[in-house]
Amino acid sequence: MEAANDSAQGGFVLLGFSDRPRLERSLFVVILAAYLLTLLGNTTIILLCRLDAQLRTPMYFFLTHLSFLDLCFTTSSIPQLLYNLGGRDKTISYAGCAVQLCLFLGLGTVECLLLAVMAYDRFVAVCKPLHYMVIMSPRLCTVLVSVAWGCGAANSVVMPSITLHLPRCGHNRVNHFVCELPALIRIACVNTTAVEATVFFLAVIIVLIPLILILVSYGCIVRAVLQIRSASGLQKVFNTCGSHLTVVSLFYGNIIYMYMQPGNSSSQDQGKFLALFYSTVTPLLNPLIYTLRNKDVKGALRRLLLRDREGGKG
């Protein structure tokens, strides 16, 4: 387990939380429960948006993709984490690590862009309500989502290919529970300044540009809100935008802390727990946020349950 070479057959050891055996046992139970609830919650959102005619709007089209994204993202890391937490074997093959890194980066990129697209959708809904269905046509929605997934696919190829080809000089012990970019760069046995600068530059493009677009969209929404006189109108705007803003805050708070700081400015333990929150808690909370704060989704769930109950009686 200690020995590994730099070849594609070498593999890695994910140290994770192995220095805290008691914590590992507790984490296994908590993460397994969170993972199962994440699968249930996001699958429910997808089914509701597909089965209920009233949810076939641009907003819920994007929400379906966000839920599918969360399912893919959490599944890319949590099963391996549960396996490592459940026993002494902490290894992952080189191919498994490469796939995990590609998915981690690619899906993270898609989420950055998808949240920006959803912010634009909310901007159109609030600031141009009479033209909403014309502007947010099915064709435009499909194009925007396709661009997000395309950029994610591109990033899932570029950065992993650079990182995985760094010489490791036999080092294969990754101080993380997932094959994550900064952790893999740390075990390289060469100067990684250029690679870290490239990562930071791409993070600025992938993370900050969508965030700026989100802030601009909500700046326009705030300006429109200030012109609304009625309390019911204000409440409608808050209901429309509140869920998305909560999800954006959770997502970007973690991502900026993890990727937008100089390499050694935060402890590795902090990075692991932030990544754990990002991988387990955020995908779990997203469907809850949209369900608990959204009358349309709660109504669709109620209609679906009533339909099943009536079908069962018949």
Contacts of 176 (CB under 8 A, 6+ apart): 14, 15, 16, 183, 268, 271, 272, 275
Map out the domains of the chain as residue ranges.
12-313
Single out the residue of 109, 116, 40 nearest to residue 73, CA to CA. 109
Candidates 185, 205, 180; CA nearest to 76 is 180
Q: SS3 for 174?
A: strand
Beta-strand relationship, 173-174 and 91-92: unpaired
Residues facing residue 174 across a β-bridge:
14
What pTM was computed for the model? Answer: 0.84
Task: Give the domain 12-313 fold.
Answer: Rhopdopsin 7-helix transmembrane proteins (1.20.1070)
Name the nearest CA neighbour of 9 among 162, 172, 248, 251: 172
How does pLDDT run along the chain (314 residues), one tens digit per residue? 333 344 445 688 888 887 787 888 888 999 999 999 999 989 988 988 888 777 888 988 999 999 999 999 999 989 988 988 887 888 888 888 889 999 988 998 999 999 999 999 989 988 888 899 999 999 999 999 999 999 999 989 888 888 888 888 878 888 888 888 888 888 888 888 888 888 888 888 888 899 999 999 988 888 887 777 666 666 666 766 777 788 888 888 777 776 655 444 445 667 777 778 888 888 888 888 877 666 777 777 777 777 666 655 55
Distance, in Å, from the CA atom of 136 to the CA atom of 158, rounded to the nearest integer, reads 31
d(CA 251, CA 254): 6
